[in-house]
Amino acid sequence: MKRKLRDLPPALLMLVPSLGLLTVWVIYPLIKAIDYGHKKCDISSRNCRDVGWDRYFSVFQSTQFQDSLIVSLKFTLMTVPIGLVLGIGLAVLADKHLKGIGIFRTIFSSTVATSVAVASLVWFVLLQPSRGILADMLSDWFPVLKNPGLLNDSGTALPAVALSSIWASLGFTFIIIMAGLQSVPRDLYESAFVDGAGSFRRFTNVTLPMLTPSILFVSVVLTTRALQSYGEIDLLTQGGPQATKATTNIPYLIYGNNSVIHNDIGTKSAAAVLLFLLCLAFAALQFRGFGKRVHYGN
C-alpha cells in the first residue's frame, strides 16, 4: 500500500500525456456523440433540442440504416474471408527456401505501402469505363467494364470496391501470416512427415492450427477495416450507384457528401454510436469464436 502511494506521483506524471490526450480526443467525443444521438440541431449544429433516447431505435430501424448495415455486412463477408485465404495462399507459396524468394516476398508485401487513398485511386484509374486500361483490354469478354463500368453497375460496384480493398490489404495479410508460418517449429513438420502425412494433411493438421493466432489477428484487423471503410467508398463510388445505394455502408451513410443526414449532427452521432456497438459485437464474437481454437503453445 505504501509502495503504491509512493509511486503515485511519478506514475501520474508519466500517464498524464497519454491519458490526457485519450480523454480529450477519444473518451470525451465518444460521450458527447452518445449525447448528441438524442438531439436535433439546426444547420450550424448550435441550437439543439432533446428528441428522446428512443431515437437510437428509430435510427437503427430506418430503411437507410438497415440498407447500409447490409452493405457493411456484405462488404465484410467479401473482403475478410477472401483476403485471408489469398494471404494464406501467398504465404504458403513463398514459405520455401528457393533462390530469389526474397524478391517475391517483397513483391507480395508491396501493397502494404499503399494507403487507402493511393490504392483506391489506382483502381479508380484502372476501372475508368471509357479510357481505363481494364475496359480497354477486357471489355470484349466483360462488357460491364465499359457499359456502364464496374463501379457504375449496381451488381458489380460493391465487389469492385472489395477487390480494391482486398488488393490493398494483401500485403499486410501476407506479412502477418508469413511471420506466423516462420514461427512454426520445423520439427513439427518433420514428425508429421515421419508419420506419413501428405502435404495437404500436414497443412490442415500442423500449419493451420499453429497459424490461428495470426489468423485471428488478421481477421480482427480486416473486419475492423471493412466495417469502418470510408476512404475507398468516397474515392471510388461515393456510395453509388445511387439507384440502389449499392455501396453506401454505415460510415458512408454518416459522412458521405450526398447523405440525407449530412447536416444533421444528431442523427449522424446516433448512427456513429450504433456503428461503434456493431464493431464491439464483431470483435467479441471473433475472440470468442477463435478463442477456444487458438493454439498459443510452442
Partner 1 sequence: MATDAVRGARKVGRYSLLVFVAVVVLFPIYAVLLQALKSGPDAFDHPRSLLPVDLTLDTIRAAWTEGDLGHLLMNSLFVSSVVTVGVIVTSLLAAYAFAFLNFPLKGATFALFLATMLVPAEVTVVINQRTADSLGWMNSYQGLIVPSLASTFGVFLVRQVFLQIPKELREAASLDGVGHMRFLYEVAAPLSRPTLGALGLFTFLGTWNAYLWPSQVINDDEHRTIQIGLNSLKTPNDISKFNLLTGGLVVAALPIFIMLVVFQRQLVRGLTAGAVKG
Partner 2 sequence: MRTTRTHRFAALAAVGLIAAACSGGDDITDSGDKPATSSTTPGDTLAPTTTVALDLLPDCPTDALETATGTVEIEFWHGMGSVLADELQKLADAYNDSQSKVHVTLSGESYEITIDNYLQASQDSRPDLVQMPEYMVQSMVDTESTVPVGKCIDSSGFDTSEFLPTALTAYSTQGVQWAMPFNVSNPVLYYSKKAFIAAGLDPNDPPESLEELRAYSQQLVDSGAAQYGIALDSGFDSGGGWYVEQWFAQAQEYYADGDNGRTNRATQVLYNNQTGVDLLTYVQTMINDGLAISVGDNASGTDDLLKIADESAPAAMAIHTSAALGGALELLKSGVFKQLGADDLGIGRMPGPDGNPGALIGGASLWPVNSGDPVKVAATWDFISYLVSAENQSEWAATTGYVPVRTDALTVEPYKTILDTDSRFSVAYDQLKASPDALTSAGPVVGPLRQIRAVLATAVAKIFGGDDVKTALDEAATQANNLIADYNTSNGG
Please report, as ranges, the residues that interact with partner 2 according to CB under 8 A.
40-45, 49, 51-52, 55, 58-66, 69-70, 124, 128-131, 139, 146-149, 151-154, 236-238, 240-243, 245, 253, 257-264, 266-267, 270-271, 277-278, 280-282, 284-285, 287-288, 291
Q: Is 230 helix (H, G, I), strand (E, B) or coil?
A: coil
C-alpha distance from residue 6 to each of 9, 12, 61, 297 (Å): 7, 11, 53, 38
Q: Is 260 helix (H, G, I), strand (E, B) or coil?
A: coil
Binds 114: which of partner 2, partner 1, none (CB < 5-8 Å by kind): partner 1
Binds 257: which of partner 1, partner 2, none (CB < 5-8 Å by kind): partner 2
166: which 3 cell numbers? 482486398
Shortest gap between Cβ of 19 and partner 2 (angstroms)? 24
Binds 240: which of partner 1, partner 2, none (CB < 5-8 Å by kind): partner 2
> Which is it for the CA torsion 79, 84, 85, 87, positive or negative?
positive
- Cβ proximity to partner 2: between 98 and 243 the closer is 243
Shortest gap between Cβ of 122 and partner 1 (angstroms)? 5
Please state, as a whole number, how many other Cβ atoms lie within 10 Å of the Cβ of residue 135: 21
Shortest gap between Cβ of 242 and partner 1 (angstroms)? 17
Shortest gap between Cβ of 58 and partner 1 (angstroms)? 19
CB 274 within 8 A of CB 65: yes
21/243 Cα distance (integer angstroms): 43
